[in-house]
A and B are shown apart, each in its own frame.
Chain A
Amino acid sequence: MSRKLLERLQQEFGTAILRTADQHGDAVIWVAPKDATVVLRHLRDREQCELLLDVAGVDYPERAKRFEVNYLLRSLARAHRVRVKIDVAEGEAVESATPLWRCADWHEREVFDLLGVPFRGHPDLRRILCHHEFEGHALRKDYPIEQGQPCVSTEKLFGDHEIEQASRRSEGVAAAGDESGLPSDLLTVNIGPSHPATHGALRVEVLLDGETVVRARSEIGYLHRCFEKEAEDHTWHEVMPYTDRLNYCSALLNNAIWAHSVEKLLGVQITPRCRAIRVIVSELARLTDHLVCLAANLVDIGALTNYWYLYNVREGIYQIFDKLCGSRLTTNYARIGGMSHDLYPGFAEETLFHLGRLDEAIRDVTGLVARNRIFLDRTVGVGAISREEALSWGYTGPCLRATGLAYDVRRFAPYFGYEEYDFDIPVGEHGDTYDRIMVRFEEMKQSARIIRQALRKLPEGPVNIDDPRVILPPKESVYGSIEGMMNQFKLIYEGIQVPAGEAYGFGEGGNGELGFFCVSNGTGRPWRVKVRPPCFPIFSSYSRLIEGGMIPDAIAILGSLNIIAGELDR
């Protein structure tokens, strides 16, 4: 698949393509900075790579061209997975991809912020995750990990000039539509970081004319702790608990997909039982994610009671997690090459019981809202986005499926044996808040279906692979033999020795495609880990969705996008 694509590209561009490679089924091409836009445009228009997943920068201080910028592309129709690599020296600019994909805006700002690579033609090249007063670039190898910088001042997101412009424009419209023509002042209001509806620390500065949002601009990074820098400072295994804190509503999904990504790089195959367990816990985590999202979204719309109907089920699932992992939120359950331990006895019965309660809750809540006139008025047509635009913004997951596109990683590129399960991909039609909510309800039913199937045919056998280079030895051997003890010591202190290389491991997270782009230099610690958090590109479109609407719409839309600050800010 990727070989043919690479051949076509080489024919088309000849020497402009510096190198090609096929890594784990991903077509990788190296191009010079000046050719980047042409190649990317060709890929988008001719090869149907309509989705820009991520832009990942890697720092190699010893190279002449120090930085490597990766554009991760995806073609849904042709199943291409393409990575375009551009090597740039310090201070050398990359041509911005913002004219091609809207989500490139925030992705490139992130590369600029954390690595200091400038992008030519970028409309708004500011820091995004770090504070605007932060000095240096945190992900450069020469930035010391201990060096914190206390920054406190608030950045004004709209300049006086912009406010004036927006206000003139608003007055112009008012004068045209309203014979009174009386001007009103635009009000600059901060929604967040500490607002009941942001469900996490993020800030949206809005210019309001009455109740109408005239302009909006988002600021993120309040929860930024540079997960990726931390990952470089820890062994592959030690990153696992950090992934809990990404999307903390579905930590098990993060665990499983992180393990999956490293296994891809290692080239190991996990056992059938482990695959089934990962499917079960992933789907349970997806349930909790959707339950939290829906419950909070409905509360935002004022339908408070539904919160408890949904949260009671989530509580039941958390009790399962508690028994299974020893904690509810920060599960830390998966291991590279397996799981921390097997399921506990009685797991299946308890899970089935709570799935029954889930069905009941879905029935109750949809009964209360699905045909409620007030709910329909509040959600139908609110925050609608077309399929093409959603792709351009880098939407994945339920928000993309709400626009009618049945893209689901579990079906597109099955992992953990998802191809063996029978499930549907629910899609919406209009991409509005109503569709996003209803798609999540339907997905919960499908997740329950998958879990029931997986429990029915859960294979026997070992959970962990039999490979002492990856998996910790059993405790008897650690205490009983010098080999076991040395093995344990090496794995803990030096980490799993992952062969040098790159891999982009991905799976279907709670609100879209969650990916880890891992680079190894052959040691026990990652050289670079780049997370592809699904809500990051989705949230970059937030101001586009709310401009022209009203404050209550903005709140309803925010809830339906399911923005999790832990994952957004990393």
Chain B
Amino acid sequence: MEQVTALFARIAGAGTLSPQLLLWLGALTMALIMALVMAACAIVFTWAERKVAGFIQSRYGPMRVGRWHGIAQPIADMLKILQKEDIIPADADRKFFILAPFVLFIGSLMAWAAIPFAPGFVAADLDMGLLYIFAASSLVTIGILMSGWASNNKWSLYGAARGAAQIVSYEIPLALAVVPVVLYAGSLNMTDIVVAQQGGIWKWFALRNPFLFVSFLIYFLASIAEVNRTPFDLPETESELVAGYHTEYSGMRFAFFFLAEYANLFLVSCIATAVFLGGWGHPVPGLNFAPALVFLAKAVLLVLAQIWIRWTLPRLRVDQLMHVCWKVMIPLALVCLAGSGVWMLAFVRFA
């Protein structure tokens, strides 16, 4: 943000633009960048997903559009989806039906505001950034419930009920798993959390103590559930619920669900990178590499891990999903939290 506003100030010449105007311009630019990042996520990761899936399943995946390995396939898909007829069922609740994709999309976009990609490169460097991200991304639940209920379709209703129950349930282990990090960092500000991990791989919170490592795993698994991917893709299981909460959506409205899904996939990976994996820090000493690229590389690796898991594992049943969350992950997360506190007192010397 500072970098962006500074850039504007330099272009216009120092002092010619009022600080307020610069601020608005900067924020707008960041919003544009983040929206583009979201769109890029959908484009890059749909292609990556299909190629990785193809690789895992001993087939090629898209090969034709764009000459090289179907690289332009997502663009073609987007153009196709733009031309799809927009259908709102007669029995649906029109208002909520139209509103739901917006809620989903905006909730996702809002969360991006607090992700620190590089030192100073964060749209809103909020003091309670971590809480803000969780709050913003839980708008997704409301979007899913809205869409499922508004469709007046039974499969959508089941998708929405499952989705809401799943996401709210997994939010608890998710939120609990990052508390030990806050213990170490002493701040909820995302930049502070990343800065606290600089200086070598052993400074990364995931590797600070065994409890934190387990917390990282809990976070990672719970985040897969948060973004509804196999083995936790119950809200939209094709074989059971046809398409779940977005069964009735078509065309561009459907595209928003799709966009938000892949944006969230990348979002949870970015959070994991910032909170557990040292953000832009890298283990090679002395090398001053572009921090944003290091950050993105880590997040993309996490996304690839999620893709890998998706194409390897079967899907849980809804009661087993709840079982894993409430009876395994939450108790474990609580143990990790207490364990981390004890570990800090016992082994860590604070300056």
A and B touch in the complex (CB under 8 A): yes
Q: Hey, which bits of chain A sit against chain B, CB under 8 A?
A: 187, 189, 195-197, 211, 298-305, 307-309, 312, 368-369, 372, 374-375, 377-378, 550-553, 555
**Residue pair B311, A305 in contact (C-beta under 8 Å):** yes
Question: How many Å lie between the Cα of A301 and that of B315 in the bound state?
Answer: 6
**Nearest CB on A from B163, distance (A):** 13
**Residue pair B313, A196 in contact (C-beta under 8 Å):** no
CB-CB < 8 A to A302: which residues of B?
Answer: 230-231, 233, 237, 239, 313-315
Query: Which of A303, A305, A555 makes the CB contact (< 8 A) with B240?
Result: A555
Nearest 10 CB-CB pairs, A to B? A302-B315, A303-B314, A308-B57, A300-B239, A197-B239, A302-B314, A552-B317, A301-B314, A374-B314, A189-B154
A376 to B, closest residue via Cβ: B314
**Residue pair A309, B57 in contact (C-beta under 8 Å):** yes
The residue among A302, A308, A368, A555 with the most chain B CB atoms within 10 A of its own CB is A302
Question: How many Å lie between the Cα of A307 and that of B231 in the bound state?
Answer: 16
**Residue pair B58, A550 in contact (C-beta under 8 Å):** no
Interface CB pairs A-B, < 8 A, 10: A187-B157, A195-B242, A302-B237, A302-B313, A305-B56, A307-B57, A308-B57, A368-B312, A372-B313, A374-B314
CB-CB < 8 A to B56: which residues of A?
Answer: 305
Question: How many Å lie between the Cα of A298 and that of B239 in the bound state?
Answer: 10
**Residue pair B316, A305 in contact (C-beta under 8 Å):** no
CB-CB < 8 A to B314: which residues of A?
Answer: 298, 301-303, 369, 372, 374-375, 378
Chain B, 172-190, contact with A by CB distance < 8 Å: what is the 0/1 string? 0000000000000000000
Question: How many Å lie between the Cα of A423 and that of B233 in the bound state?
Answer: 41
Chain B, 25-67, contact with A by CB distance < 8 Å: what is the 0/1 string? 0000000000000000000000000000100111100000000
**Residue pair A196, B238 in contact (C-beta under 8 Å):** yes
B319 to A, closest residue via Cβ: A550
CB-CB < 8 A to A304: which residues of B?
Answer: 53, 57, 230, 311
CB-CB < 8 A to A551: which residues of B?
Answer: 158, 240-241
* B318: Cβ under 8 A from any A Cβ: yes
Query: Which of A187, A303, A550 makes the CB contact (< 8 A) with B154?
Result: A187
CB-CB < 8 A to A552: which residues of B?
Answer: 237, 240, 315, 317-318
CB-CB < 8 A to A300: which residues of B?
Answer: 239-240
CB-CB < 8 A to A308: which residues of B?
Answer: 57-59
**Residue pair A374, B158 in contact (C-beta under 8 Å):** no
**Residue pair A555, B239 in contact (C-beta under 8 Å):** yes
**Nearest CB on A from B334, distance (A):** 23
Question: How many Å lie between the Cα of A368 and that of B311 in the bound state?
Answer: 11
B54 to A, closest residue via Cβ: A308
B317 to A, closest residue via Cβ: A552
CB-CB < 8 A to B157: which residues of A?
Answer: 187
CB-CB < 8 A to B312: which residues of A?
Answer: 305, 368
Query: Which of B155, B237, B317 makes the CB contact (< 8 A) with A377?
Result: B317
B323 to A, closest residue via Cβ: A377
Question: How many Å lie between the Cα of A375 and that of B56 in the bound state?
Answer: 19
CB-CB < 8 A to A301: which residues of B?
Answer: 239, 314-315
Known: A189-B155, A304-B53. 4 other contacts (CB 8 A): A304-B230, A309-B57, A374-B315, A551-B241
CB-CB < 8 A to B241: which residues of A?
Answer: 551
**Nearest CB on B from A367, distance (A):** 11
* B3: Cβ under 8 A from any A Cβ: no
CB-CB < 8 A to B155: which residues of A?
Answer: 189
CB-CB < 8 A to B57: which residues of A?
Answer: 304-305, 307-309
CB-CB < 8 A to B316: which residues of A?
Answer: 374, 377-378
**Residue pair B58, A309 in contact (C-beta under 8 Å):** yes
**Residue pair B313, A550 in contact (C-beta under 8 Å):** no
CB-CB < 8 A to B240: which residues of A?
Answer: 197, 300, 551-552, 555
The residue among B155, B238, B317, B319 with the most chain A CB atoms within 10 A of its own CB is B317
Query: Which of B58, B239, B242 makes the CB contact (< 8 A) with A312?
Result: B58
B313 to A, closest residue via Cβ: A374
Question: How many Å lie between the Cα of A539 and that of B201 in the bound state?
Answer: 58
**Nearest CB on B from A258, distance (A):** 33
CB-CB < 8 A to A189: which residues of B?
Answer: 154-155
**Residue pair B230, A550 in contact (C-beta under 8 Å):** no
**Residue pair A303, B313 in contact (C-beta under 8 Å):** yes
Question: How many Å lie between the Cα of A550 and that of B234 in the bound state?
Answer: 13
Query: Which of B58, B154, B311, B318 makes the CB contact (< 8 A) with A211?
Result: B318
Question: How many Å lie between the Cα of A305 and that of B313 in the bound state?
Answer: 9
The residue among B59, B312, B315, B319 with the most chain A CB atoms within 10 A of its own CB is B315
**Nearest CB on A from B251, distance (A):** 21
**Residue pair A550, B239 in contact (C-beta under 8 Å):** no
Question: How many Å lie between the Cα of A307 and that of B53 in the bound state?
Answer: 12
**Residue pair A377, B320 in contact (C-beta under 8 Å):** yes
Q: A301-B315, A304-B311, A550-B319 are in contact. Are A196 and B58 (CB under 8 A)?
A: no
Question: How many Å lie between the Cα of A511 and that of B139 in the bound state?
Answer: 48
**Nearest CB on B from A201, distance (A):** 15
**Nearest CB on B from A304, distance (A):** 6
Question: How many Å lie between the Cα of A552 and that of B232 in the bound state?
Answer: 13
CB-CB < 8 A to B158: which residues of A?
Answer: 211, 551
Question: How many Å lie between the Cα of A303 and that of B231 in the bound state?
Answer: 9
CB-CB < 8 A to B311: which residues of A?
Answer: 304-305
Chain B, 145-159, contact with A by CB distance < 8 Å: what is the 0/1 string? 000000000110110
B310 to A, closest residue via Cβ: A304
CB-CB < 8 A to B233: which residues of A?
Answer: 302
**Residue pair B239, A299 in contact (C-beta under 8 Å):** yes
Question: How many Å lie between the Cα of A551 and that of B57 in the bound state?
Answer: 28
CB-CB < 8 A to A307: which residues of B?
Answer: 57
Question: How many Å lie between the Cα of A375 and that of B314 in the bound state?
Answer: 6
The residue among B57, B157, B311 with the most chain A CB atoms within 10 A of its own CB is B57
CB-CB < 8 A to A369: which residues of B?
Answer: 314
**Nearest CB on B from A359, distance (A):** 16
Question: How many Å lie between the Cα of A555 and that of B155 in the bound state?
Answer: 14
CB-CB < 8 A to A298: which residues of B?
Answer: 314
**Residue pair A553, B154 in contact (C-beta under 8 Å):** no
Question: How many Å lie between the Cα of A551 and that of B157 in the bound state?
Answer: 14
CB-CB < 8 A to A187: which residues of B?
Answer: 154, 157
The residue among A308, A368, A372, A550 with the most chain B CB atoms within 10 A of its own CB is A308
CB-CB < 8 A to A196: which residues of B?
Answer: 238-239, 242
Question: How many Å lie between the Cα of A565 and that of B245 in the bound state?
Answer: 28
A554 to B, closest residue via Cβ: B240
The residue among B157, B233, B314 with the most chain A CB atoms within 10 A of its own CB is B314
Question: How many Å lie between the Cα of A307 and that of B312 in the bound state?
Answer: 11
